[in-house]
Structure 1
Amino acid sequence: MENPDGARKKKGRRRSGGEASASFDRDVFPILLAAVTPTTGPNQRASSSAAAAARLLRRLLSRSPPAPALSPLPGSLVALLPLLLSSSSHSVAALSCEVMGAAALQSMEAAEALASDGGVAGGLARALGGGSQRVAEAACNAVMDLSASPVGRERLSGSPVLPRLLYLFSQVESISRAVGSGSTGCQARVSEPSKCLYLIVDTVVLMVNSCKVGKLHNLQQELVRKVTLLLYEVWSKVRLLQSSTDCTNWKDQLQSRPYEISEAIFRLTMDLDCPAHLEPDEVRKSFFGQTESDVEKFALMYWENSPYLYRKRQSDLEGDDVFTALHNAFDLRTPDAIVESFIRGLVSCPAIASDELNIDSFLDEVHDSLGAPVKYRQDVRVVRTRDQTSTGSGVEEHFFDDGMVFPDGTAFVEQCKDAIKNGFSIALRGMEFRSEKVAAIASALADLFGQPSVGANIYFSPPGSQGLARHYDDHCVLVWQLLGRKKWKIWPNTKSILPRLYEPFHSLDGLVDDSGGRVEVLHEGDIMYVPRGHVHEAHTDVDEGESEVDVSTNYSLHLTLAIEVEPPFEWEGFVHIALHCWLEEQELVRSPGSVQSKLEEQAPLFALLLHVAIRLLSNSDPSLRKACMVAAKLPSSSNSLRSSHRSTFAEILHNINRNCGFEDALRSVELVVKERNDEPFQWMSWLRHLPQQHGRSRIDFCDVLGPLEELLDMFISDRERASADFADFKSRFCSRAVYDDACREFEALLVLYRTARTRYAKGMLALHGKHGG
């Protein structure tokens, strides 16, 4: 007689994976296959098959016998999933999504395998677009479950799931009704449609932020614009609700953090076409005059040399579309309206490293700070200068404390209005990231000068005031007076060496004579150029004898466009590029397998030492610090300027051959190696962006300590011989470097820099509500 207890134990024993899979193939697979097989019979048969399939899928989810374990899913079930997910039966499609999600939650390996299956991804995409809210919700949940691992997220974000998901989201009619206005508190209970919307938003945000930047570029632009508008609306509502003390409902429904939504907006908009684009020629006419020779005259006579003033007549302004568009970008009716027009709705613009060309890396660093409230000094300064010192320069007084953030935008606007009434000026940085019109002007100006980017600040000052104290800049500026007038005083640069970006500023003591200096009053429409290194200050003072009415209305609004010359785009940078190109050419002409001389083997190290020597020479050679404009988009008639570029290059090579010393360069290398600190050579990290096609010459310019040690070991034993070989290497470079080769590589590098900066600008514009529409 059979033992009852033994029977119970036998019945409760788990079946092995093989047994479970065999049972599935025998008992379940035929029914599921019948449910997804096209039939020409009566609809009742198809309905019956779908109902049976739905029952079996529910059994899988409940783990009731004879259902197999969900991890791993039987191979035959995985093979059927693309068809099950595409089933016309909403129950079958939704339950298939749930089965897949349950399997993913049980096993990371199962999740990654399913996410990597192209058929499954295609089925999920079809489920998202099937028109059923139930199926779409189940598909979104499945996407979230399959995305539990980085591999799953990456695979799905690069599949048809993302565009289908964006299309699903784009069909949303009202964000406001779903998310709530936030003005009168939250609803007690969220409606089902709102729950579905929250789930779709969470899935969209996760997929977009998991997708590689290059793949986002392939999305259809009109779809991206519509989705971005909706996401921005969600983000705005969430930020409003976040600041509300009586509302926590959204936190229980929407899982995405505000900074995750802002990152998705940023990512989606980086590659959108910009409708506000301006050609360099349009900007040239506004800034330098209608005649093509005007800009060439400016470049040859004034650029990085002396101030320049371009006065505009009223008739000039009436026909200047660029000025008119910029002028109309602000509400100029009253001082309060002016403050509102450029302060309301701001978010912080985190700095991007000067040599950062990988937007993915940048986003990894700042993803949790995108869309954050503006930060004092980083984004905005509210300042006045009073109490003249014995040297003539005043002391700056700030309205806010350093590092303050302003989460309440409305309160910040009101504080700025009060500051203006109390004699403070507002200086807002990064206008090229906050206004489409300013962005278009800055981008065209960067093209005109052949530089990666142009920064833009806006300054609003009350009557009888001075904002910033007397100072000089490490970049050239073009000042465009938009409203009122401002009196500028500018002193000549007493130093022959131009200040570089990121270098410490020197004291003004002894740099200026307070009784001297050039004085200019800018009126509406006037443009003034101030070279880097020229000390200056600006006031809204008016001349004596003017009426009190004139004084009280003398508010000033001006835009400064900063042409920041990054290290690769100075003449020194051009020479480093020329050296790199020449070295690559030497590697190319060598015959494969030939016996190389010792000098040829040492060529990369000689080149590294010459890079160091050129850098040292830039401390005394003014021409090396000047901006290189070989990639400038100048009129075709600018032959004199183009000819001067070749002459400058030839002169610099002559100076390098004559003045770059072996001993000075080697001593600087010895110091770095001795202290085990290559920070003094971090300036050359940008050289990593140049293509290194030949393995022998490959040097990691972000970590040069190893190559420097090798260089020192090779040269230190016989310094006299090494010095002679270095002189020969230097002479060959200076006599054989090809200008046109360097130009091509220079322009290719400029494109990389421009692309990264443009992507950043577009993303930040979108976070300010400018979506490229």
Structure 2
Amino acid sequence: MKRNGKKRKKRGDEEAAADGASSCFNLRVFPILLAAAARQSNSSYTATLAARLLRRELSRSRQSPSSLPDSLVALLPLLLSSSCCSVAALSCEVLGAAALQSMEAGETLASDSGIANGLARALGSRSRRVVEAACNAVMDLLASSGGREHLAGSPVLLRIFLNQELVRNVLPLLFKIQKKVQVLRSSTDYDSWKNQLQSREYEISEAIFRLSMDLASPACLEPDVVRESIFGQTVSDVENFVLAYWEKLPILYKRKQITQNENLVFAALHNAFDLGTGPDAIIESLVKGLVSCPAIASDELNISSFLQEVRGLLGVSARHRQDLRVVRTREPTYQTSEGCGVEEHFFDDEAVFLDEVAFVEHCKNAFKNGYSIALRGMEFRSEKVAAISSALADLFGQPSVGANIYFSPARSQGLARHYDDHCVLVWQLLGCKKWVLWSNPKCILPRLYEPFDSLDGILDDNSRRLEVLFEGDMMYIPRGYVHEAHTSVGVSQANAYADYSLHLTLAIEVEPPFEWEGFIHIALHCWMEKQKAGSSVFINPKAKEEVIFFALMLHVAIRLLSISDPTFRKACMVAAKLPSAGSSNVSHLEMIRSSQRSTFDGILRKIDENCIFKEALKCIELTVKEKNDEPFQWMSWLRHLPQQGDVDTKIDFCNILRALEELLEAFNSNSEQFLADFTSFKSRFCRYVAYEDACESFELLLQMYRTTRNQYMRGMLGLHGAHVS
């Protein structure tokens, strides 16, 4: 009984002490803090005294954790907004410390709208100390699920997302936290520290990505600047390239005695890397601080869906093959044909580089042993490269342009002989490199994502071409052209690093919607939507159903024609941002525009003249029989085009198997009439489709693709510290 009595007495003493502490705070501290918070122009004495009391409160809470007095909580909105940097920053620290003491306390504080407003104002402070303290407080409040829920719609996060100046202040702080977490992850005592992290690691990376993805990039180049830097000063230069070389023939642009002042694009590239030092420093500038860039699906237009899919993968260390390759090609042996060498990779497939210091040293050693360093996705790692890629994408009217960099030692070959499924512009930044090219052996443009064909025994030596690129030179290589590159050039240069070669490839990838085949699919879709809006045939349910089937059949027929016709595979450039029209430019622009319209008309004639109904029907029958719509996944991007009307007048391009089954059933019910009606439908489409309508929808779709790609690019730039000053 006595022991229990002692316990009760002790508990009562603790409660009395707590009440006493609260009373002491209210009597001695509250008036001073209230005075400091209430004055818009704080006197140095009041501010100094208030800061001292806040430090004491912060120290007390850390030594003997307890909830904040209600009176202090009531003052926090004013204290967080104080014009005195010390008072505002210390108030943020007190708030963060209280949030970390218990999840309940954090949720309660996060639910206070006055505190949320005060934090939002602190985040907008001009003082880096206040912004950093406010950012840390926000992270502490977000540590619990309840805190995240309360702050989700608060002015705190809204201000962060809307205020670009604020975002630029917050991002360096988050980036610093991310780097510390990465160092911790690679340490041997990671498991013992892991439980002390207040949030999952990927949440920090996701926060950086989300804050960065809508941030305007300060590095920007107009398409005209890129055009002039690459192709020449006059409009006729780009006209000549588009009409004579684009997707047809390679061309080398020589830059004699180039200087950084003469070419803005080359200057931007040259300054993006540390090229004035030896190979070790260049390697460090390329691979240090790399994070992985998880792939985004070609037809993904919702960045939130992408973030959900890659949750846990943002901010992780770079991976071999996915992000970079450290590779060399051995000399050919009697077992290889046509002189093709065999690639050797320094790292194992899918190797992850957790220890950054060791990874950099491995790359340096590999380089000394003849391995090239091939780094993918430079547009996601360098703002300057990103600006060039974006401008080039605008110039060619494509969603994005990729950028890879290759650093090769003397007397070496990095990648083995190959061809690409995209066009490339090779820009020599340092040293020189010898290129050997062969013409496209298939005489048809390879498509993105198609399997690569073997080169054994199919190359024609008569088409072999040799070019040497020196610093500043640029060469265009069309997709499908076989090539290999060596640093064994056999010529001398004044450049001290001529033995090494550093070049950037700008990859112009023509994705399915932006080939001419894609443009025709869009034209068919637009024409069908017009039929829905104005045709009386849709009044009859049976006729309405058949017209939908005819459109689906024609989509399939267009696809089959594109398999063997190179015109369908060419890039459609109706949305290209060509030079501004002027008196001297009109004729050149009209030549390109006329060429685009001529291509469209020619494709329509081919569709009208070719009856490939049987081939399309056979393809559909096989898919329905096997109940496998994988061969029709190519049309999934069509779901992004708007469709009017009810369910019966829409094609579900994500679940195409059911529509194909119904089409086949309609055909089997009256095959001869179905064929006759389809032929009539096809002829009417080819005769009455409006080119201008297709151009408008094409440009809208391109803008949707560009928006998502730019969000991804800016998000990845944020993860690579592009906004850290």
| TM-score normalised by L of structure 1 | 0.76
Give the drift of 1:597. 7.0
Give distance in 1, aligned partners of 2:476 and 2:607.
31
Q: Show the counterpart of 1:363.
A: 307
Q: Show the counterpart of 1:686.
A: 637
Query: Partner letter of residue 673 of structure 1?
Result: V
CA RMSD, 1 decimal: 3.7
Which of 400, 403, 427 is equivalent to 1:453?
Answer: 400
Q: Show the counterpart of 1:482.
A: 429
SS in 2 for 1:558: strand
Q: Show the counterpart of 1:330.
A: 273
Q: Show the counterpart of 2:656.
A: 704
Query: Partner letter of residue 69 of structure 2?
Result: S
Q: Is the 8 A contact 1:283 1:441 kept in 2?
A: yes
Give the drift of 1:579. 0.4
Instruction: Please give the residue correspondences for 1:8-27 in structure 2 after superposition, counting only pairs within 5 Å.
Output: none
Per-residue Cα deviation, 1:52-88 (whole angstroms, up to 9, x for no partner):
xxxxxxxxxxxxxxxxxxxxxxxxxxxxxxxxxxxxx
Query: Partner letter of residue 289 of structure 2?
Result: G
Which of 565, 572, 596 is equivalent to 1:645?
Answer: 596
Per-residue Cα deviation, 1:175-203 (whole angstroms, up to 9, x for no partner):
9999xxxxxxxxxxxxxx99968625637
Give distance in 2, aligned partners of 1:504 and 1:732.
36
Per-residue Cα deviation, 1:680-731 (whole angstroms, up to 9, x for no partner):
0011000010111222422211111111111111111211110001001111
Give distance in 2, aligned partners of 1:371 and 1:269.
13
Q: Show the counterpart of 1:415.
A: 362
Q: Is the 8 A contact 1:270 1:762 kept in 2?
A: yes
Q: Is the 8 A contact 1:497 1:619 kept in 2?
A: no
Matched, 1:538 2:497: no
Give distance in 1, aligned partners of 2:236 and 2:453.
36
Give distance in 2, aligned partners of 1:743 and 1:255.
51
Give distance in 1, aligned partners of 2:701 and 2:407.
36
Q: Is the 8 A contact 1:571 1:623 kept in 2?
A: yes
Q: Show the counterpart of 1:746.
A: 698
Q: Is the 8 A contact 2:544 2:649 kept in 1?
A: no
Q: Is the 8 A contact 1:94 1:134 kept in 2?
A: no
SS in 2 for 1:619: helix
Change (3 A) 1:608 1:235: same
Q: Show the counterpart of 2:215.
A: 272
Change (3 A) 1:705 1:248: closer
Give the drift of 1:552. 7.8
SS in 2 for 1:458: strand
Which of 83, 95, 110 is equivalent to 1:136?
Answer: 95
Change (3 A) 1:423 1:285: same
Matched, 1:305 2:248: yes
Change (3 A) 1:570 1:143: farther
Query: Partner letter of residue 669 of structure 2?
Result: S
Give distance in 1, aligned partners of 2:699 and 2:487.
42
Q: Show the counterpart of 1:718.
A: 670
Q: Show the counterpart of 1:581.
A: 526
Q: Show the counterpart of 1:118.
A: none
Q: Show the counterpart of 1:14.
A: none
Change (3 A) 1:754 1:176: closer
Q: Is the 8 A contact 1:286 1:323 kept in 2?
A: yes
Query: Partner letter of residue 348 of structure 2?
Result: D
Q: Show the counterpart of 1:556.
A: 501
Deviates more, 1:402-411 or 1:160-169: 160-169
Deviates more, 1:387-396 or 1:351-360: 387-396
Q: Show the counterpart of 1:25.
A: none
Q: Show the counterpart of 2:512.
A: 567
Q: Show the counterpart of 2:337.
A: 390
Per-residue Cα deviation, 1:428-455 (whole angstroms, up to 9, x for no partner):
0000000010000000000000000000
Counting matched residue pairs gives 642
Which of 339, 344, 349 is equivalent to 2:293?
Answer: 349
Which of 202, 205, 208 is equivalent to 2:143?
Answer: 202
Give the drift of 1:249. 7.8
Matched, 1:227 2:170: yes
Give the drift of 1:330. 1.1
Matched, 1:92 2:39: no
SS in 2 for 1:202: coil
Give the drift of 1:659. 1.4
Give distance in 2, aligned partners of 1:320 and 1:511.
40
**Percent identical across equivalent pairs?**
59
Instruction: Please give the residue correspondences for 1:279-318 in structure 2 after superposition, counting only pairs within 5 Å.
Output: 279-315=222-258, 318=261
Give distance in 2, aligned partners of 1:641 and 1:144.
64
Q: Is the 8 A contact 2:426 2:504 kept in 1?
A: yes
Deviates more, 1:594-603 or 1:291-300: 594-603
Give distance in 2, aligned partners of 1:470 and 1:261.
42
Give distance in 1, aligned partners of 2:394 and 2:194.
45
Per-residue Cα deviation, 1:565-607 (whole angstroms, up to 9, x for no partner):
000000000000000000000111146x984374344211211
Q: Is the 8 A contact 1:464 1:551 kept in 2?
A: no
Query: Partner letter of residue 162 of structure 2?
Result: L
Give distance in 2, aligned partners of 1:228 and 1:210.
18
Per-residue Cα deviation, 1:613-659 (whole angstroms, up to 9, x for no partner):
10011011111000000000011331101011111101101111111
Q: Show the counterpart of 1:619.
A: 563
Give distance in 2, aligned partners of 1:271 and 1:209.
20
Give distance in 2, aligned partners of 1:735 and 1:124.
72
Give the drift of 1:241. 2.7
Deviates more, 1:600-609 or 1:449-458: 600-609
Per-residue Cα deviation, 1:129-184 (whole angstroms, up to 9, x for no partner):
68545873488579966999xxx9xx989x99877646546768569999xxxxxx
Deviates more, 1:355-364 or 1:508-517: 508-517
Query: Partner letter of residue 375 of structure 1?
Result: R
| TM-score normalised by L of structure 2 | 0.81
In structure 2, stretches of 5+ residues that fail to align are 1-25, 35-66, 83-87
Instruction: Please give the residue correspondences for 1:97-176 in structure 2 after superposition, counting only pairs within 5 Å.
Output: 131=88, 132-133=91-92, 136-137=95-96, 165=119, 168=122
Query: Partner letter of residue 425 of structure 2?
Result: L
Change (3 A) 1:704 1:320: same
